[in-house]
Structure 1
Amino acid sequence: MSKIDYLASGFIEPLKTYVQELDLPAAELLGEMRQELESPNVSAQRFCQLLESVWQLDPVDALGVRLGLSVQPRHFGVLGYMVSSCGTLGQALARYHRYHALLQGGLVSRAWLRDGVLYMRWTQAVANTPLASEFSLAGFVSLCQTLIGRPVTPLRAGLPFPRPRDGSVYQVLLGCPVDFDRSAIELAIPAHLLALSISSKDPYLLRLLEQQAQALLEQAPRLEGGHMGAFFSRVQEQIVESMKNGDVSAESVAQALGCPLRTFYRQLRTAGYSYRGLLAHTRHTLARQYLADPALAQTDVALLLGYSEQSSFIRAFRSWTGTTPGAYRAGLARKGKDASGRDHGE
């Protein structure tokens, strides 16, 4: 595992709960998990180490599956909230596929429909140990089950490691035949499940979360690949998270990431960024996304971007674009009229 990748730290929560419920002797490990949970992301290598530590405490068969089956949408971070806001499972899985880079940079997935079956295959560049692969497969099954509020019985599953001594436990836990020694993690489910509705659907929240996700993905390629690309993504995600409580200071973001402030500044300089410039760039990108949504009031946009005063947002937006948020939104409305063939005088 020489590459560096990150995933949502929420995936540590099922591990922590498992250790606590079994009352395993792991006070130090629990402390390490709590510390990792303070950041929105955890390195894939570190997550694999935590999985291995739990297995050392309780070396049961298919431990990764057992842990993954307790995963909830909230553990997937912003992607989990997004898919929970979709109308159907099909819509949720389409967005999962589109935005999975926000969940784990090294995740490569493919899905296709054939003869009434949805087939899925995915690989994880760094989180690719047997335990992590089991966890990923079972976590995805659990996500689908939670979204539609009923059990999902897969038709077949596959895992990229040799068949263990007792492979039958995997079939018992997942409820379907499981193949081993595959080239990727595999899952097949009945296609009719895609039409089932999600009770927590929220079109307004979905639109908002999708705007955030799209804006972040559009910026990601600038530093894609390597350690600095991963660090850049973590900082950006933490900035968006910190906007919720209005504290987007470098000190607050660095602390949330568990990074000393001097190291934080140095890594940003190495990537060619200043923190102030990155914060402004992220706010500017999200502001344009939010202002394009007529359902959002300008005061809502200011709050979403972490401004306590609307006047501060107006000044900042003018410095980025040379115009006010209101004028920018009016310009978008005029373009919309032009696109629909209407005359400005109508």
Structure 2
Amino acid sequence: MIGTSPTVTHLYAQAILQAAQRRGITLSDDITRQVVPGQRVPLAVQDRLWEEYCQAVDDPLAGLEIGLALQVGHLDSAGMLLVSCDTLREGLEALVEYAPVVGDGGEFSISEDADWISLCYRPEYRVRVAERVDAVMASLVRLAGWATGEAFRPEILLLAHPSRGDGVSYRERLGMPVVFDADCNCLQCHRDQGDLPLIQANSALRDHLRQLADHTLESVGHQSLSGQVSRLVREHPNWGKERVASELAVSGRHLNRLLADEGLSFKVLRERELHRLATELLQAGQTVVVVSERLGFSEEAAFARAFRRWEGVSPARYRSGLSSGE
């Protein structure tokens, strides 16, 4: 982030204050009064919150407990966006893109191969790193379980730090094997888990929350590369990878490498935005021909094939269903 100081949403900072309250701990007024509703909290203040809280509780599993108690609302609009997506895979991709809404200090990436989905987290802070990583990874397990109606079955959690206290306690609380002193912090699950539907899926709410999250990222001067690519595709749906890359002053190949660092690809982002635009335009009453041209398809048949892949029905039938109230 350029020209701005790192911050976190006040809602995430409140998670620590609430944890202290549950334990009957009073934190310093000069710290707590800096957590103001509606105002982002400087990361330096969050550092002090973590330090003072961990010193007061003197519990090696303090971070784990905070993570397991975390609610969707503590993650601001990014949390609501995650759980309003259609599938777990889409929700995790949204988390990678919009994590800075929650706060600076760490970065997510997602990768997928023939067997596994891996969601990794790289912390960038220096204060109470192990406790905060515990909180982040535990919150992912909890929220993914809640969002899928407890259908989520993660396979293993890798943590880069040594075991804090009794390693068995991690497995008991998280319900999965935990490996310590790993090369990275990574939650892994079988690939088919990505297809799990989310119980709070709501496409209209999801799209609205994306707009709010985009606004938040812009207001704090932090828009991820994937966010910039998504914006350009929405504004210029007929642009291909090379044209978008040129606008961002990089080559197409370099753009792919940079997006891969975020666990995404240009193809995935472009497909997602075209899909979203197509449904929005059809819902607004635009004809199939107009939408096809607006999205830059060479012919209507090509658009119809793509739309059928996205929605499972032809665009004409989708539009007809809207008008008939199906």
Q: TM-score of the superposition, structure 1-length normalised? A: 0.58
CA–CA distance in 2 between the matches of 1:64 and 1:337? 46
Matched residue of 1:201: which SS?
coil
One-letter amino acid of the structure 1 residue matched with residue 205 of structure 2 = L
Matched residue of 1:176: which SS?
coil
Gaps of 5+ in 2: 224-276, 285-289, 301-326
Using the TM superposition, give the Cα deviation of residue 144 of structure 1 relative to its aligned residue in structure 2, in angstroms: 0.8
Note closer, same or farther for the CA distance 1:194–1:179 as it changes in structure 2 (3 Å cut).
same
CA contact (8 A) 2:78 2:102 kept: yes
CA contact (8 A) 1:68 1:137 kept: yes
CA contact (8 A) 1:48 1:132 kept: no
Using the TM superposition, give the Cα deviation of residue 49 of structure 1 relative to its aligned residue in structure 2, in angstroms: 2.0
Matched residue of 1:90: which SS?
helix
One-letter amino acid of the structure 2 residue matched with residue 211 of structure 1 = Q
CA–CA distance in 2 between the matches of 1:70 and 1:153? 19
Using the TM superposition, give the Cα deviation of residue 172 of structure 1 relative to its aligned residue in structure 2, in angstroms: 2.0
What does residue 82 of structure 1 align with? 81
One-letter amino acid of the structure 2 residue matched with residue 103 of structure 1 = V
Write out per-residue CA displacement over residues 259-306 of structure 1, whole angstroms, 9 at most, x where no aligned residue: xxxxxxxxxxxxxxxxxxxxxxxxxxxxxxx9x966999xxxxxxxxx
CA–CA distance in 1 between the matches of 2:140 and 2:85? 16
One-letter amino acid of the structure 2 residue matched with residue 44 of structure 1 = L
How many residues are treated as equivalent by the alignment? Answer: 238
Note closer, same or farther for the CA distance 1:148–1:40 as it changes in structure 2 (3 Å cut).
farther
CA contact (8 A) 2:68 2:142 kept: yes
Note closer, same or farther for the CA distance 1:340–1:98 as it changes in structure 2 (3 Å cut).
same
Note closer, same or farther for the CA distance 1:153–1:62 as it changes in structure 2 (3 Å cut).
farther
What does residue 163 of structure 1 align with? 163
What does residue 196 of structure 1 align with? 196
Write out per-residue CA displacement over residues 74-129 of structure 1, whole angstroms, 9 at most, x where no aligned residue: 11111112112111212111211223233334433222224532222211212661
What does residue 5 of structure 1 align with? 6
What does residue 103 of structure 2 align with? 104
One-letter amino acid of the structure 2 residue matched with residue 22 of structure 1 = R
Matched residue of 1:186: which SS?
strand
What does residue 70 of structure 2 align with? 71
What does residue 270 of structure 2 align with? none
CA contact (8 A) 1:44 1:127 kept: no
Identity among equivalent positions (%) equals 19
What does residue 135 of structure 2 align with? 135
Note closer, same or farther for the CA distance 1:55–1:213 as it changes in structure 2 (3 Å cut).
closer
One-letter amino acid of the structure 2 residue matched with residue 133 of structure 1 = V
Note closer, same or farther for the CA distance 1:151–1:195 as it changes in structure 2 (3 Å cut).
closer
Q: TM-score of the superposition, structure 2-length normalised? A: 0.61
What does residue 245 of structure 2 align with? none
CA–CA distance in 2 between the matches of 1:172 and 1:38? 35
What does residue 205 of structure 2 align with? 205
What does residue 93 of structure 2 align with? 94
Q: CA RMSD in A?
A: 3.6
What does residue 18 of structure 1 align with? 19
Using the TM superposition, give the Cα deviation of residue 58 of structure 1 relative to its aligned residue in structure 2, in angstroms: 1.5
Matches within 5 A, 1:268-279: none
Write out per-residue CA displacement over residues 46-74 of structure 1, whole angstroms, 9 at most, x where no aligned residue: 22321222222221221100110111221
CA–CA distance in 2 between the matches of 1:337 and 1:94? 23
CA–CA distance in 1 between the matches of 2:90 and 2:296? 31
What does residue 176 of structure 1 align with? 176
One-letter amino acid of the structure 1 residue matched with residue 294 of structure 2 = G
Gaps of 5+ in 1: 221-229, 235-289, 298-331
Matched residue of 2:117: which SS?
strand
CA–CA distance in 1 between the matches of 2:109 and 2:44? 23
What does residue 119 of structure 1 align with? 118
Matched residue of 1:150: which SS?
coil
Matches within 5 A, 1:178-257: 178-214=178-214, 219=218, 232=221
